[in-house]
């Protein structure tokens, strides 16, 4: 009788069976990897803006405080995007004819708001509050990165739930004194863990158990 | 038909891959934009709610409110604690007004009957000729028709118009007015005094057909004062209610009697005779006589602290007798002088229209074609006016018969002023510019008066200019901020002694007596296009999306009718078709139907729902129809209810604890069953030390549904529509259950609001396969929407049935009718997630309010203050108390130790955080007692 299968067929069959079992595992792993990849989180994507506003120039170069434009950051959940009026408080005096600023001048003249493209987008069931984080000693650059070096703003952190929880479960490494919150050049001291723990206590930062509860961020 | 050509294999593959590519592309995050102001208003914080004091009208009377806006979008209405008709609480109509503002069916342009859409300028031109003619003739053909007007500015404008054009006439038609009460005051005192009873000083109250705890402009004030008095058991008193069909007051009564309308005069005469009236001895049924005897004895005993209230449906003579009894009892009633100038009524306008005396008719802010008694045939008569315009928020039935229709701005879009029933004036301020290009009634009146176009703001300020004194700006800002104008209440007057009227003879029994009542959800029909109110269960019948003729089981059996049968009701040759609902506590040979339904031109939500009672009403007796014929049709219709599709036999007394006043001293508080053995670890708080809990006083609950609609407004609770309700699906996070431990003839009922119990050992939590139902350290039972996969195990395992499932995208993607319109989305609370299809949801104890309070406290580095949930702040009687069990001295702690305290189904070992205070009643032993 002629053999239908060659001796190697067994090996092939085993390989096929093994890969059938492995495929779902790989698939799940791939999906995880995809969701956490910068491609999915839109990390480090630089977006075109109607006016190429440079934080590098205004913050790094001129040293303008964050709160000059983001006025509500200490009071409200949303930090506030400056109205055209704020831009024009300086640019009615300097660079008054720069072609780059034409949309800003048009906006004020026509009473039509500038439409900025959002860089940091959270899902709609997440309720992040800037004021509380600022009050508890989380600095701007902790999440937004070295903003003073960015010509156009990009999202530095992945903004995934896991990333949020890393800090909510252990805030000490990311806390700084309140007076340094808006200091973009602040660097952690060598004993940051101990200093952060002291700050957490001084600022009444809630326990990691409480901070990792669903109701802290979701409603 | 030619055969379909199948796509080739290549085309099919191409389409498939294109579909996959398009599908994958859709997975990307949508690009969002940030749109800042050009010039930012000072002190405005993005995304932070701002409160503005203003007032909303109901039947012309004001209820002061705080309207809450986020980023310029009004999203919620709350009560104004300084306002005497709100006292910090709201009613269903005020809560739902916010949805009316965004109603996509509101009229957007002026329209001419023949040519359709037109511009405001064209309407002004069209008005010029008839107005010029009216002015030449000193206004002889000019007629103005409005609803009840309490606005000082509007009264000033109308008075000025009537002075300038002395031949012009002003008519008022308010569908649910107090005409019979005023005529009764005229009979008793010789002047049309308006009576304002004070239940806070009345120990014994007898309502004959009156429903003071039911819907109306005085509901909040009355029920608050009534229930505040009852909080002290020593001042509990007794409430007697004799009425045709069960109302909210009837449910709360200590002694209730189903009274045939024709016996009302006899009942009042019997009471009056007890006080020495010497009226002819009425022939009353034995039950009624016994009730009258008991009530009379109690009223006389409480001399000076007793009160009689007569329902608006009854004849003026009965009201006059009520005034006489109150006079004799030295009842706590404040009388206020009649309106000035006094407008003419609708019947006079109908007569003028018949004579052809009306060359220009302006109808402002009312809908008489729907709400006028049918025998006035107003739709036809308005056609006899030479020129007619109608100004309204919707292109309603009246807009359909006038030459022009002008869009009216909503109260949240316009400057105005309003008075409360006690005369207190409030300024009405806009929160947004008119969304649909409407103008305020003041601006339209200025147009009619031929004044140069001026803004409503200036017209209203002109009214108050003298009042403000030297510092007018300061006075104005203060009045706007507070929402009330100081010392503007009308002083009560002494009406003098009352006369005894001659009572009408007892009508013979002919056919069915039908009482037409204000609808607890649609009022007089003006809210028919409001989906929240259409889906709000009526307090007693729990019916939604429609009305029904309420009949007693005996009456229905006598006529061979069953619940759900459609009948034709006939009266004077006019007929309507209504569905029959069998209800407890309806008087023999009588029925009740609520008004406001059956509208042909309400809008996409309200068109053609229910039966229109106005079509049977007559000008002589607009609210009480005697001798209605009932003819059964060969058709059945469903009465949609949100309760009573399952009967819980014998459990009522356990689920709804009732205590007689006499037994209160022996009552012991019942706990949440914390001492029972359990396999679960006891609940332990967290380091923050909050433990949220709620106590609901069922004695104080009047079933008004203000909490239900407040919750809907606050928490973006979607409307599901009648088809889904028919499948037993609803979305309200908070429902008000009605329990009746009595019999169909002798009702012994009470209300029980049921939100989520936030059980410490919640049965919903262990059954969730994905941990979407979890507990937090403050004791909240959370639903994590983005984890939920929709197994509905939690709903099945919840003994309180408070979980709601999004079978469809009710809020997002598959909304009911117009509820998905862009304008309606603007109402959504930005601090609450809009739930998607396939997700479970439920009461969160207003977690967004807790979170906001906590975050503000954290931000400012201070301890967290008290939090009020939406239902709590809406409640007119303060029946709902929310608080923190871990905070010493919190009111909920004291309530948990109240002898009336009990938990719902504590035997299931759920350890609920929401608990109740038992219903308390003071039955009259002479009437056999109850409870």
Cβ–Cβ < 8 Å for B283, B268: no
Minimal Cα distance from B856: which residue of A?
Answer: A132
B689 — pLDDT class (breaks 50, 70, 90): confident
pLDDT at position B644 is 66
**Mean pLDDT (chain B, rounded):** 93
State the complex-level ipTM. 0.91
Q: How many CB atoms lie within 10 A of CB B329?
A: 23
Q: How far apart are CA B905 and CA B757, in angstroms?
A: 11
Report the percent of chain B where pLDDT is more than 90. 85
Q: How far apart are CA B121 and CA B364, in angstroms?
A: 18
pLDDT of B3 > 60? The answer is: no
Cβ–Cβ < 8 Å for B920, B900: yes
pLDDT at position B320 is 97
Shortest distance between the Cα of B717 and any Cα of chain A, in A, equals 14
B777 backbone dihedrals φ, ψ, rounded to 5°:
-65, -15
pLDDT of B832 > 70? The answer is: yes
A36 backbone dihedrals φ, ψ, rounded to 5°:
-90, -5
pLDDT of B791 > 60? The answer is: yes
Q: Does B859 touch chain A (CB under 8 A)?
A: yes
pLDDT of B527 > 70? The answer is: yes
Q: Does B27 touch chain A (CB under 8 A)?
A: no
Q: Looking at residues B704-720, what average pLDDT do you find?
A: 97
B25 — pLDDT class (breaks 50, 70, 90): low
pLDDT tens per residue across span B111-135: 999 889 999 999 999 999 999 999 9
The CA-atom distances, in angstroms, between A153 and each of A2, A45, A57, A62, A183 are: 71, 9, 12, 17, 17
Which of A67, A105, A122, A215 is most worth mutating to test chain B (most B CB atoms within 10 A of its CB)? A215
pLDDT at position B4 is 59
A149 backbone dihedrals φ, ψ, rounded to 5°:
-110, 5
- H or E element in which residue B389 lies: strand B387-392
SS (H, E, C) B707-772: HHHHHHHHCCCCCCCHHHHHCCCCCCCCEEEEEECCCCCCCCEEEEEECCCCCCCCCCCCCCCCCC
> Helix B264-274 to helix B286-301 angle, to the nearest 10 degrees?
40
Report the percent of chain B where pLDDT is more than 70. 97
Flag if A81 and B36 touch (Cβ within 8 Å): yes
The CA-atom distances, in angstroms, between B894 and each of B219, B662, B850 are: 28, 22, 21
pLDDT at position B21 is 74
Q: Looking at residues B756-764, what average pLDDT do you find?
A: 95
Q: Does B844 touch chain A (CB under 8 A)?
A: yes
Q: How far apart are CA B361 and CA B443, in angstroms?
A: 17
Q: Does A114 touch chain B (CB under 8 A)?
A: yes
pLDDT of B647 > 70? The answer is: no
Q: Looking at residues A133-143, what average pLDDT do you find?
A: 96
pLDDT of B929 > 60? The answer is: no
pLDDT at position B687 is 57
Residues of A in contact with B31 (CB under 8 A): 117-118
Cβ–Cβ < 8 Å for B698, B917: yes
Q: Looking at residues B455-469, what average pLDDT do you find?
A: 92
* A117 → closest Cβ in B33, B36, B47: B33
pLDDT of B745 > 90? The answer is: no
pLDDT tens per residue across span B370-382: 999 999 999 999 9
Q: Looking at residues A24-52, what average pLDDT do you find?
A: 91
Closest CA to B106 of B436, B534, B442: B436
A-facing residues of B in 666-695 (CB < 8 A) are 686-688
Q: How far apart are CA B195 and CA B324, in angstroms?
A: 12
Shortest distance between the Cα of B35 and any Cα of chain A, in A, equals 5
Shortest distance between the Cα of B799 and any Cα of chain A, in A, equals 24
Residues 6+ apart with CB under 8 A from B203: B235, B237, B238, B302, B305, B306
B688 — pLDDT class (breaks 50, 70, 90): low
Q: Looking at residues B205-226, what average pLDDT do you find?
A: 97
- H or E element in which residue B317 lies: helix B316-328
Shortest distance between the Cα of B860 and any Cα of chain A, in A, equals 8
Q: Looking at residues B454-477, what average pLDDT do you find?
A: 93
Cβ–Cβ < 8 Å for B703, B248: yes
| Burial class of residue B860 (count of CB atoms within 10 Å of its CB; 0-12, 13-18, 19+) | exposed
pLDDT at position B28 is 58
pLDDT at position B931 is 38
B895 — pLDDT class (breaks 50, 70, 90): very high
pLDDT at position B554 is 94
Closest CA to B800 of B857, B756, B851: B756
Q: Does A202 touch chain B (CB under 8 A)?
A: no
Flag if A77 and B855 touch (Cβ within 8 Å): yes
Dihedral in degrees, nearest 10, Cα atoms B692, B697, B702, B704? 10
pLDDT tens per residue across span B329-371: 999 999 999 877 789 999 999 999 999 999 999 999 999 999 9
Flag if B777 and A210 touch (Cβ within 8 Å): yes
pLDDT at position A35 is 85
pLDDT of A90 > 80? The answer is: yes
pLDDT at position B652 is 86
Q: How far apart are CA B733 and CA A169, in angstroms?
A: 33
pLDDT at position B577 is 96
pLDDT of B392 > 70? The answer is: yes
Closest CA to B900 of B645, B714, B695: B695
pLDDT of B930 > 50? The answer is: no
Q: How far apart are CA B391 and CA B395, in angstroms?
A: 9
Which of B27, B34, B772 is most worth mutating to test chain A (most A CB atoms within 10 A of its CB)? B34
pLDDT tens per residue across span B164-196: 999 999 999 999 999 999 999 999 999 999 999
pLDDT tens per residue across span B536-589: 999 999 999 999 999 999 999 999 999 999 999 999 999 999 999 999 999 999
Shortest distance between the Cα of A121 and any Cα of chain B, in A, equals 8
The 8-class DSSP code of residue B527 comes to T
Which of B687, B851, B853, B861 is most worth mutating to test chain A (most A CB atoms within 10 A of its CB)? B851
B792 backbone dihedrals φ, ψ, rounded to 5°:
65, 15
B30 — pLDDT class (breaks 50, 70, 90): low
B454 — pLDDT class (breaks 50, 70, 90): confident
* Half-sphere exposure for A21 (CA within 13 Å, toward CB): 5
B902 — pLDDT class (breaks 50, 70, 90): very high
Q: Looking at residues B48-58, what average pLDDT do you find?
A: 95
pLDDT tens per residue across span B236-265: 999 999 999 999 999 999 999 999 999 999
Q: Looking at residues B805-823, what average pLDDT do you find?
A: 94
B26 — pLDDT class (breaks 50, 70, 90): low
Q: pTM higher than 0.80 for the full model?
A: yes
Q: How far apart are CA B765 and CA B756, in angstroms?
A: 13
Helices (H), B560-697: 652-655
Q: Looking at residues B656-662, what average pLDDT do you find?
A: 94
Q: Looking at residues B48-70, what average pLDDT do you find?
A: 96
* Half-sphere exposure for A24 (CA within 13 Å, toward CB): 3
Q: Length of chain A, please?
A: 219
**Which of these ranges, B477-486, B739-748, B921-930, has the smallest mean pLDDT?**
B921-930
């Amino acid at each position: 009788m002629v053999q239908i299968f060659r001796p190697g067929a067994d090996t092939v069959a085993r390989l096929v069976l093994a890969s059938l079992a492995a495929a779902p595992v790989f698939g799940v792993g791939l999906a995880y990897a995809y969701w956490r990849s910068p491609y999915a989180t839109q990390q480090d994507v630089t977006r075109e803006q109607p006016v190429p506003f440079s934080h590098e120039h205004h913050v790094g170069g001129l040293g303008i405080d964050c709160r000059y434009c983001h006025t509500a950051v200490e009071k409200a959940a949303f930090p506030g995007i400056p109205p055209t009026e704020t831009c024009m408080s300086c640019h009615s005096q300097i660079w008054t004819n720069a072609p780059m600023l034409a949309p800003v001048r048009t906006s004020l003249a026509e009473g039509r708001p500038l439409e900025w493209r959002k860089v940091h987008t959270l899902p709609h069931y997440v309720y992040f509050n800037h004021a509380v984080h600022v009050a508890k000693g989380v600095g701007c650059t902790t999440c937004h990165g070295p903003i003073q070096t960015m010509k156009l703003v990009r999202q530095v952190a992945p903004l995934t739930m896991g990333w949020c929880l890393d800090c909510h479960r252990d805030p000490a490494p990311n806390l700084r004194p309140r007076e340094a919150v808006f200091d973009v050049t602040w660097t952690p001291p060598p004993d940051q863990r101990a200093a952060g723990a002291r700050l957490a206590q001084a600022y009444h930062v809630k326990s990691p158990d409480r901070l990792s509860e669903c109701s802290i961020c979701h409603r | 038909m030619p055969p379909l050509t199948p796509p080739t294999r290549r085309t099919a593959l191409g389409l498939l891959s294109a579909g996959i590519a398009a599908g994958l592309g859709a997975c990307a995050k949508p690009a969002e934009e940030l749109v800042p102001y050009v010039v930012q208003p000072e002190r405005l914080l993005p995304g932070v709610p701002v409160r503005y004091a203003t007032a909303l009208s109901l039947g012309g009377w004001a209820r002061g409110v705080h309207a809450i806006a986020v980023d310029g979008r009004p999203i919620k209405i709350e009560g104004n604690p300084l306002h005497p008709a709100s006292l910090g609480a709201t009613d269903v109509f005020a809560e739902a007004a916010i949805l009316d503002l965004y109603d996509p069916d509101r009229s957007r342009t002026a329209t001419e009957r023949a040519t359709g859409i037109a511009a405001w300028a064209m309407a002004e031109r069209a008005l010029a000729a008839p107005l010029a003619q009216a002015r030449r003739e000193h206004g002889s053909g000019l007629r103005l028709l409005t609803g009840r007007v309490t606005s000082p500015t509007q009264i000033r404008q109308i008075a000025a118009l009537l002075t300038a054009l002395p031949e012009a006439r002003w008519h008022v038609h308010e569908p649910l007015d107090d005409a019979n009460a005023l005529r009764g005051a005229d009979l008793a005192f010789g002047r049309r005094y308006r009576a304002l009873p004070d239940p806070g000083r009345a120990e014994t109250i007898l309502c004959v057909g009156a429903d003071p705890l039911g819907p109306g402009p005085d509901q909040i004030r009355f029920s608050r004062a009534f229930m505040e008095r009852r909080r002290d058991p020593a001042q509990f008193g007794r409430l007697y209610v004799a009425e045709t069909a069960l109302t909210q007051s009837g449910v709360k009564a200590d002694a209730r009697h189903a009274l045939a309308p024709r016996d009302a005069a006899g009942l009042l005469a019997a009471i009056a005779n007890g006080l020495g009236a010497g009226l002819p001895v009425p022939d009353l049924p034995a039950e009624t006589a016994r009730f009258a005897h008991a009530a009379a004895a109690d009223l006389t005993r409480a001399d000076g602290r007793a009160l009689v209230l007569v329902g608006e449906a009854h004849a003026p003579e009965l009201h006059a007798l009520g005034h006489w009894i109150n006079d004799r009892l030295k009842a706590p009633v404040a009388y206020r002088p009649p309106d000035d100038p006094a407008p003419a009524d609708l019947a006079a306008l109908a007569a003028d229209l018949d004579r052809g005396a009306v060359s220009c008719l302006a109808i402002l802010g009312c809908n008489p074609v729907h709400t006028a008694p049918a025998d006035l045939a107003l739709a036809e008569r308005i056609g006899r006016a030479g020129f007619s315009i109608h100004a309204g928020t919707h292109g309603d039935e009246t807009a359909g018969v006038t030459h022009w229709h002008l869009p009216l701005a909503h109260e949240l879009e316009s400057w105005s002023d309003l008075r409360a029933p006690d005369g207190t004036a409030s300024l009405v301020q806009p929160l947004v510019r008119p969304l649909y290009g409407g103008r305020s009634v003041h601006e339209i009146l200025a147009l009619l008066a031929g004044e140069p176009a001026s803004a409503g703001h200036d017209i209203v300020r002109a009214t108050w200019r003298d009042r403000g004194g030297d510092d007018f700006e300061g006075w104005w800002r203060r009045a706007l901020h507070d929402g009330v104008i100081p010392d503007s209440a009308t002083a009560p007057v002494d009406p003098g002694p009352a006369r005894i009227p001659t009572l009408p003879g007892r009508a013979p029994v002919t056919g069915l007596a039908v009482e037409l009542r204000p609808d607890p959800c649609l009022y007089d029909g003006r809210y028919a296009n409001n989906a929240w109110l259409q889906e709000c269960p009526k307090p007693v019948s729990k019916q939604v999306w429609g009305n029904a003729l309420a009949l007693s089981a005996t009456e229905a059996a006598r006529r061979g009718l069953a619940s759900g049968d459609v009948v034709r009701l006939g009266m004077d040759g006019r007929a309507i078709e209504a569905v029959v609902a069998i209800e407890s506590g309806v008087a023999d040979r009588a029925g009740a139907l609520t008004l406001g339904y059956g509208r042909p031109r309400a809008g996409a939500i309200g068109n053609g729902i229910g039966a229109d009672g106005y079509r049977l009403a007559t000008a002589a007796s607009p609210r009480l129809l005697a001798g209605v014929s009932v003819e059964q049709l060969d058709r059945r219709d469903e009465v949609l209810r949100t309760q009573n599709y399952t009967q819980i036999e014998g459990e009522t007394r356990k689920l709804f604890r009732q205590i007689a006043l006499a037994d209160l001293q022996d009552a012991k508080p019942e706990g949440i069953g914390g001492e029972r053995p359990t396999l679960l670890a006891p609940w332990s708080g967290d380091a923050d030390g909050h433990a949220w809990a709620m106590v609901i006083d069922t004695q104080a609950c009047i079933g008004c549904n203000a909490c239900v609609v407040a919750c809907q407004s606050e928490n973006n609770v979607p409307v599901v529509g009648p088809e889904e309700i028919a499948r037993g699906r609803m979305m309200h996070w908070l429902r008000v259950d009605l329990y009746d431990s009595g019999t169909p003839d002798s009702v012994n009922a009470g209300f029980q609001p049921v939100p989520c119990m936030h059980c410490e050992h919640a049965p919903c939590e262990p059954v969730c396969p994905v941990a979407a139902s979890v507990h937090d350290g403050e004791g909240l039972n959370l639903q994590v929407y983005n984890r939920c996969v929709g197994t509905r195990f939690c709903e099945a395992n919840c003994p309180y049935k408070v979980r709601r499932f999004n079978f469809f995208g009710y809020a997002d993607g598959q909304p009911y009718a117009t509820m998905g319109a862009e304008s309606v989305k603007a109402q959504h609370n930005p601090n609450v997630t809009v739930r998607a299809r396939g997700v479970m949801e439920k009461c969160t104890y207003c977690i967004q309010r807790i979170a906001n309070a906590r975050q503000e406290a954290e931000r400012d580095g201070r301890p967290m203050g008290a939090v009020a949930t939406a239902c709590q702040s809406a409640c007119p009687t303060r029946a709902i108390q929310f608080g923190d069990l871990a905070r010493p001295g919190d009111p909920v702690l004291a309530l948990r130790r109240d002898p009336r305290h009990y938990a719902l189904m504590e035997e299931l070992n759920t350890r609920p955080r929401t608990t109740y205070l038992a219903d308390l009643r003071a039955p009259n032993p002479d009437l056999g007692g109850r409870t």
